[in-house]
Amino acid sequence: MTKASFQPQDSEELLPHRIVLNVRSMPSYAYGHRSPIWWGTVAFAAAEGMGFAMAIGVYFYLVFINGNWPLSAPPPDLFWPSLFTVVLLVSAWPNARAKRDGEQENLSATRRNLVIMSLAGIVLLVIRIMEFNGLHVRWDQNAYGSAVWLLLGLHTLHLLTDLGDTVVLTVLMFTRHGHGKRFSDVGDNAFYWYFVVASWLPIYLILYWFPRWW
Amino acid sequence: MTKAITPHELDAVPEVTRLATGERGGVSGARSEADYSPDPKELRDDQVDGPELTARLAKTWGTQKGLIGALSTVDHKVIGRRYIITALFFLFLGGLSAVAMRLQLARPESSLIGPDLYNQLFTMHGTTMMFLFGVPIGEAFAVYLVPLMVGTRNIAFPRLNAFSYYVYLFGGLMIWLAFMLNIGPDVGWFAYVPLSGPEFSPGKRADIWAQMITFTEVAGISVAISVIVTVFKLRAPGMTLDRIPLFVWAELINSFVIIFAMPAVVTASALLLMDRLVGTHIFNPAEGGDALLYQHLFWFFGHPEVYIIFLPATGWVSAIVVTFARRQAFGYIALVLSLIATGFLSFGLWVHHMFTTGLPQLGASFFTASSMLIAIPNGIQIFCWIATLWDGRPVFRTPLLFVIGFFFIFVAGGLSGIMLASVPLDAQVHDTFFVVAHFHYVLIGGNVFPLIGAIYYWFPKFTGRMMNERLGKWHFGLAFIGFNVAFFPMHITGLMGMPRRVYTYLPEMGWGNLNMISTIGAAVFFGSFLLFLYNIVTSARRGPLAGPNPWNAGTLEWASASPPMPQNFDRIPIVTNREPLWAHRDSLPVAAGLSVENREQIVSTVTAGRADLRESTPEPSIWPFLSAVAITILFVGSMFTPWALVWGTPPLALALIGWFWPKAGTEDER
Amino acid sequence: MRTLLILPLLAFTLAACEREDREYRSNPVTAESQEKIALVPLSAGPGGPTEQRSGLGKEYEENAFHISQGQRFYVWFNCNGCHANGGGDSGPALMDDRWIYGGQIENIVQTIREGRPNGMPSFRGKIPDDQIWQIAAYIRSMGRNVPKPAAPGRKDDMSPGPAEQRRPPGEVIDGGQVPPSAQMPQ
Amino acid sequence: MKRAFSILLLSLPLAGCQGWQSALDAQGPSAQALAEMFWIFVAVLGIVWVLTMTALLLALRRRRPADADPLSTDPGTERRMTITVSVAVALTLVTVIALTGLSYAAQKVLFSHKDGALTLLVTGQQWWWKITYENEQPNLVFTTANEIHIPVGKPVLIKLESADVIHSFWVPNLTGKMDAIPGRQNQLQIQADRPGIYRAQCAEFCGLQHAHMGMLVVAEPKEDFERWRNHQVSSAIPPNDPERQRGMEVFLSKPCIMCHQVRGTDAGGKVAPDLTHVGSRRYIGAGTLETTRGNIAAWIIDPHGIKPGVNMPTIQLEPDEVQPLASYLEGLK
């Protein structure tokens, strides 16, 4: 019952050290899954992906409850969202280059790629505004409208976040901070953009094609 | 103090050997060689030793003095300590509200507390216990202990971690401040629509509840991600997957459950806010919405939530059982697998909270089966712990007493849970005091008892002083008796027909005596916590000094000083066994070569735990705090006008840019 | 440090908003409120008409619970039978800024209590005084003449348009035209 | 004191078996099945608990020598413990499967609806129950509140709807509960085997007065039930004594008529309980007060003192109006 029964180490001091490994020569950063930040980005993408899954779940639950769909509104226009999808898919190419050039620590190419990505984000944002105009339903009209605005709004939020991230990173790359670990950040930003692209594709089908097929 | 390495020890850590001999995995590319060669002027920990090394590292890793310094700190121990104290503070507030409710229910038709206040009280009680205590306390212990246990110097993403603490704190303060201003939510911790919807909950009360969810969700997910990455990437070299302490496993799986469960509740609360504030119709049946959708979303989170509260407790129990049984854990693999199974299964049970909503019977039956099935992984854990104790030499100190209390209470609660899993039985006892009794057995038995054990256990690590053992035993006795006297009779009041969430009942119902007993028990239970508080305060000041490892435990946190220095370890330990301190009794194998002047720590590979990088971790910064302030303004503002999303964003964006903007010469994080 | 925390808390509590009170037991219990108000801001002589307000109006129209109860009673007592959702039908609109008999809450209370020519019945003795005040407070919220945080959100019903809380704050112009629809007895 | 306490504790398990709102005092076939199943679960799970705790207590003996290395394990012990734990897990699995099977069987019996002798539409409202007896003959359809009469031995189908928020219909003595959810209709079948008065209470939190949202289910022989029904269908009998006539005048001249209906008079409000036969009901205020003249008067004078937040307003009455009004209402048998 007393401390004695623990075979105490008696000493109030820490164990002495015995060096068995020297990490002096290890690199101070890396790319992809070797870097903690990559795992952080993946985890955030997982949580946000779960958010998307929930929102999509809500949409289909409402379809299931109502039977007829869309509720008292014509299906949304196709032109702008399709344009959006095309631009978004095309943007995957400069994105891939941004990641590659970043890993090769090519500063000028990375700068160019980031500027392109920022512009692409802004163009997409403009198209997105047109997209909202062509929904033919307001969020406060009925549950269908609410679900549509929910999904589109959620994706726009991610678009905005990544655009902000890209712009800040672009600015950084043009300052004296454009070296070393920044290149790793470019890679993570590119990864996040893939998430924005990947999460859009199901939403595009659900919002614009599903009501036509249903 | 440093000793040369022997070939024998190298065999024990083959991965380390390979690293030490210069093998390097990963991408090869056009990276400049300059990154590999360290700055020759920089002082490294293979150049200094002893007290000088300790002092220099402490200076590098320390928290600055003053208010700004305190708000800028990124030390996981400082943040973790605040997290734990804040969560315990909310536990106390939740307990106070419970005592108020028990006083009201002690007699039939009591006019002590009216229905309006009572509804606010039970909402605050549930919300506080679940969101402001239950989830955060597990994460708080993870923030403090996981980096120590995996043998690193700071949590991954320490600024995110600091940010999450402030968000959590502000969210909790917001809802309690609102309660004091008579804007406390009064719709229950579940806030079912339509009662919490725009038509039946006028004013801001339900908005406060829903927005508090947003706060805790942001905080909860942020910590969960930090913990996951800490466990994945910051483990001490040599800590392979099967050498991870059970506590760390529990926190890891808990963090995964949080990441996948929390988005559901934030979806529910965000949709509720949208319905309430901008007029969407998601939950409005007249316009194509549905009230039950809310329940699906809420319980898709709400059931995993129970395990979010319970999983960290399994970690506490495992740690305490192993240390006090003086034997390594029996069935380590089985314990880890059953933790994982619990995590997965917890997502397949949510409908058992909705058995009385008239869902199709076939679907309901499926959830009966899955709900009963979760008894299996939990059973495995219980049996493995008992087996560990069986073959051990139990030392009956307060932590172990509370764990024994946990067995008695939690198993009873788990078994009454099996009754609730049955659709027909649930139809009788659902939403009665039987359920109240059940989940208090599960949650207090499954979380609070292990928690108190954990506090007695780790208190010397946190403060450097032991807690009073005599008071601890009194505390256990009072808590155990008080708890059972308070909650056992509720099984019977429930079966006698007393529904939950009633502020009073008629004298002719015959529930008076049982309720009076419950109230007396609740008072005793609450009293035991006052004793606990007294013990904490006096022990923290005058308790006997504890050495680094007062319990002679086996895991790495006991290899640091009590309380730990800011750098945790002077050199990063190398792990060759699940219980490193039991395996290395005379000296600790360590890795050297990290900077003494910069905040460097070792990044290792995910499965093999092989040292891979020496990455620097962020310096203290005020920006996470400012970002938390900005996001609080945005969240609170958006309850009053959607335009807050517009004018609230620039300050937040500025704060975030300040956060991520690199300081000259040092590196940062996401 | 601790006092620093307590002080703002105390200040907050003292300034606690009345907006969220749920005053279901009107006090004094049975008396009819006495308010002296004018229909239009015109009077013989300088200085405008003499008015006497009890302050009860503010208590009702700034309180979310009262407004919400008013919304309930508005339907229960069939106000929507003539005034629809506030847009007016056989009775005049209630959500615009024109108020024939005055648009302050005291005017509306009086209108409900006394009735008005061309179809508005008197509800004196039919609706208890505090419920009249609640209904009047709700009617004030239709043109968003009440604070936004107290105004109701959407109902769990067919949606006629943006809910009261989302309407732009309105003005009150006393002395309007009786709409053609209300001129002839229905 | 101590003894009184232990007696109380001992009497606890027994107390649950009786009561007019008790799940264990089963008065109908499905409540009976549920109660039996409950006791089976209690027995099985109780044994599991006792066994586990015994194992725990036995495990607390010190078997390891004081100087043993905590990392050392004895292969023999290890193997025996593995076998024991595996057996325990297997037994748990068997228990769980058995209980699941039992649960399915009971579920099938419970939710297979027989043809009902009677169909009721019960609408939950904040905070009372509106009850409509449906019938193919329109003259047998009527609406009442907070008190259901059913014929003994006959299954009765209850359709559940809600007028505002979610409520839950629960008569523990007869069967399990079912929610009333806005925008949906749920169904439930109840049956009483013995005549008696069983209390029901809303079981889903529904706002301020969730605690006072009760209802009575009166099970009576078929003849009594028929008599009751034929009376409920009829309009209120006009009062013939002067005091009650005065009460009726008061009733009709006061706000009462805005919400309440008394068939056969001008009072036609539909948003509050139908009072046509309120005097024949055992309780007023949704199971809150027994129907006596004094209670009716108290309820009218200060409803918020009894049921704070109820939608019944406090109305302006002269002192000499209260008594006649209460008499009038009490007389509405």
C166 contact residues in A (CB cutoff 8 A): 140
Three-state secondary structure call for residue D190: strand
The Cα–Cα gap between B605 and A45 comes to 21
Domain-wise residue ranges, chain A = 33-213
The Cα–Cα gap between D310 and D100 comes to 43
Residue of C nearest to D303 (CA): C25
Note whether A142 contacts C: Cβ–Cβ < 8 A. yes
How many whole angstroms from its chain centre is CA B485? 28
Q: Report the pLDDT value the prediction gives residue D110, as an integer from 0 to 100.
A: 77
Three-state secondary structure call for residue B326: coil
Query: Is D66 in Cβ contact with A5 (below 8 Å)?
Result: yes
Residue of A nearest to B612 (CA): A26
| pLDDT single digits (tens) C105-158 | 999 999 999 999 888 999 988 898 889 999 999 999 999 999 988 999 999 988
Does residue B320 carry a pLDDT above 90? yes
Mean of pLDDT values over B375-399:
94
Does residue B605 carry a pLDDT above 90? yes
Query: Is C129 in Cβ contact with D316 (below 8 Å)?
Result: yes
The Cα–Cα gap between B278 and B350 comes to 29
Q: Which alpha helices (DSSP H) does D16-165 contain, by range?
A: 29-59, 75-111
Residue C19 one-letter amino acid: R
Residue of B nearest to C63 (CA): B203
Three-state secondary structure call for residue B321: helix
The Cα–Cα gap between B80 and B564 comes to 12
Note whether B373 contacts D: Cβ–Cβ < 8 A. yes
Mean of pLDDT values over B338-357:
92
Look at B364-378, B640-654, C165-179 and tell me which has the smallest mean pLDDT: C165-179
Cα-atom radius of gyration of chain D, to the nearest Å?
27
Q: What is the second-level CATH architecture of the domain D19-45+91-232?
A: Sandwich (2.60)
Q: Report the pLDDT value the prediction gives residue C179, as an integer from 0 to 100.
A: 56
Query: Is D314 in Cβ contact with C130 (below 8 Å)?
Result: yes
**DSSP letters for chain C:** -HHHHHHHHHHHHHT--GGG----S-SSSSPPP--B--SSS--SSTT----B--SHHHHHHT-HHHHHHHHHHHHHTTTHHHHTTTT-SSSPPSSSSEETT--SHHHHHHHHHH-BTTTB---TTTS-HHHHHHHHHHHHHHTT-S-GGGS----SS---SS-GGGSPPP--EES-PPPHHHHS--
Band the pLDDT of B585: cuts 50, 70, 90: confident
Query: Is there a domain that residue C131 lies in?
Result: yes
Residue C180 one-letter amino acid: P
Query: Is there a domain that residue C25 lies in?
Result: no
| pLDDT single digits (tens) B149-200 | 999 999 999 999 999 999 999 999 999 999 999 899 999 999 999 999 999 9
Three-state secondary structure call for residue B32: coil
Give the C window 144-163 contacts with B, CB below 8 Å: 148-150, 152-159, 162-163
> Which CATH homologous superfamily contains domain A33-213?
Cytochrome c oxidase, subunit III, four-helix bundle (1.20.120.80)
Band the pLDDT of B19: cuts 50, 70, 90: very low
Query: Is there a domain that residue C99 lies in?
Result: yes
Residue of D nearest to B369 (CA): D100
Q: Report the pLDDT value the prediction gives residue A7, as an integer from 0 to 100.
A: 44
Residue of B nearest to D18 (CA): B496
Band the pLDDT of C172: cuts 50, 70, 90: confident
Does residue B610 carry a pLDDT above 70? yes
Give the D window 250-279 contacts with C, CB below 8 Å: 253-255, 257-259, 271
Band the pLDDT of B86: cuts 50, 70, 90: very high
The Cα–Cα gap between B635 and B651 comes to 13
| pLDDT single digits (tens) B533-574 | 999 999 999 999 998 999 999 999 999 998 999 999 999 999
Residues in Cβ contact with B287 at an 8 Å cutoff, skipping those fewer than 6 apart? A71, A141, A142, A143, B281, C158, C159
C19 contact residues in B (CB cutoff 8 A): 183, 203-204
Q: Which residues of C touch D (CB under 8 A)?
A: 22, 24-26, 29-32, 69, 72, 76-77, 125-131, 156
Residue D278: closest CA among D121, D128, D124: D128
Note whether A55 contacts B: Cβ–Cβ < 8 A. yes
ipTM reported for the complex, 2 dp: 0.91
Would you say the CATH fold of D242-330 matches that of D19-45+91-232? yes
Burial of B44 (0-12, 13-18, 19+ CB in 10 A): buried
Look at A168-182, B67-81, B91-105, D256-270 and tell me which has the smallest mean pLDDT: A168-182
The Cα–Cα gap between B195 and D213 comes to 16
Point out the residue among B114, B356, B496 whose CB comes nearest to the CB of D15.
B496
Percent of chain B with pLDDT over 70: 93
Does residue B127 carry a pLDDT above 60? yes
CA atoms within 13 A of residue B51's CA, in its CB half-sphere: 1
Neighbours of B65 (CB within 10 A): 8
Residue B205: closest CA among D126, A150, D208: D208
Domain with C121 in it: what CATH number? Answer: 1.10.760.10
B86, B89, B116: best to mutate for the C interface, most C CBs within 10 A:
B116
Two tokens, residue C16: 């606690």
HEC letters along chain A? CCHHHHCCCCCCCCCCEEEEEECCCCCCCCCHHHCHHHHHHHHHHHHHHHHHHHHHHHHHHHHHHHCCCCCCCCCCCCHHHHHHHHHHHHHHHHHHHHHHHHHCCCHHHHHHHHHHHHHHHHHHHHHHHHHHHCCCCCCCCCHHHHHHHHHHHHHHHHHHHHHHHHHHHHHHHCCCCCCCHHHHHHHHHHHHHHHHHHHHHHHHHHHHHHHHHC
A5 contact residues in D (CB cutoff 8 A): 66
The Cα–Cα gap between D171 and D196 comes to 12
Note whether B231 contacts A: Cβ–Cβ < 8 A. no
Q: Which residues of A7-29 are buried (b: 16+ CB within 10 A; e: fewer)?
A: eebeeeebbebbbbbbbbebbbb
B274 contact residues in A (CB cutoff 8 A): 139, 146, 150
Q: Report the pLDDT value the prediction gives residue B40, as an integer from 0 to 100.
A: 62
Q: Report the pLDDT value the prediction gives residue A1, as an integer from 0 to 100.
A: 33
Number of Cβ pairs < 8 A linking chain C and chain D: 47
pLDDT less than 50: residues of chain D: 1-2, 13-16
Point out the residue among C25, C77, C128 whose CB comes nearest to the CB of D315.
C128
Q: Determine the distance in angstroms separating the CA of C141 from the nearest CA of chain D, rounded to an integer.
A: 21
Two tokens, residue B35: 């990154």
Mean of pLDDT values over A126-141:
93
C23 contact residues in D (CB cutoff 8 A): none
Note whether B404 contacts D: Cβ–Cβ < 8 A. yes
Note whether C76 contacts B: Cβ–Cβ < 8 A. no
Domain-wise residue ranges, chain D = 19-45+91-232, 242-330
Does residue B214 carry a pLDDT above 50? yes
Q: Determine the distance in angstroms separating the CA of A145 from the nearest CA of chain C, rounded to an integer.
A: 12
Residue A148: closest CA among A214, A68, A56, A79: A56
Band the pLDDT of B247: cuts 50, 70, 90: very high
Q: What is the mean pLDDT of chain B?
A: 90
Based on the structure, what is the number of domains in chain C? Answer: 1
Q: Which long-range contacts (CB under 8 A, 24 or more apart) does D244-252 make?
A: D244/D324, D244/D327, D244/D328, D244/D331, D245/D328, D246/D321, D246/D324, D246/D328, D247/D323, D247/D324, D247/D325, D247/D326, D247/D327, D247/D328, D247/D329, D248/D328, D250/D317, D250/D321, D250/D324, D250/D325, D250/D328, D251/D325, D251/D328, D251/D329
CATH number for the domain whose boundaries are D242-330: 2.60.40.420
Cβ pair A47, B256 in contact under 8 A: no
Q: Report the pLDDT value the prediction gives residue A29, as an integer from 0 to 100.
A: 83
Q: Report the pLDDT value the prediction gives residue B20, as an integer from 0 to 100.
A: 41
The Cα–Cα gap between A182 and A23 comes to 23
Give the B window 293-332 contacts with D, CB below 8 Å: 322, 326-328, 330-331
Query: Is there a domain that residue C109 lies in?
Result: yes
Three-state secondary structure call for residue D133: strand
Neighbours of A128 (CB within 10 A): 18
Which residues span the domain enclosing C105? 54-154+163-186
Q: Report the pLDDT value the prediction gives residue B668, as an integer from 0 to 100.
A: 40
Q: Which residues of D113-123 are buried (b: 16+ CB within 10 A; e: fewer)?
A: eeebebebbbb
Note whether B593 contacts A: Cβ–Cβ < 8 A. yes
Mean of pLDDT values over C70-94:
90
Neighbours of A156 (CB within 10 A): 17
A99 contact residues in B (CB cutoff 8 A): none
D68 contact residues in A (CB cutoff 8 A): none
D257, D315, D321: best to mutate for the C interface, most C CBs within 10 A:
D315
Query: Is there a domain that residue C9 lies in?
Result: no
Point out the residue among B182, B197, B640 whose CB comes nearest to the CB of C156.
B197
Query: Is there a domain that residue C80 lies in?
Result: yes
Does residue C182 carry a pLDDT above 80? no
B288 contact residues in C (CB cutoff 8 A): none
Give the B window 117-176 contacts with D, CB below 8 Å: 119
Q: Any idea which residue has 């969220």 for tokens?
A: C20
Cβ pair D325, D242 in contact under 8 A: no
Does residue A8 carry a pLDDT above 50? no
Query: Is B661 in Cβ contact with A1 (below 8 Å)?
Result: no
Q: Of all helices (H) and strands (E), which one includes residue B524?
A: helix B512-542
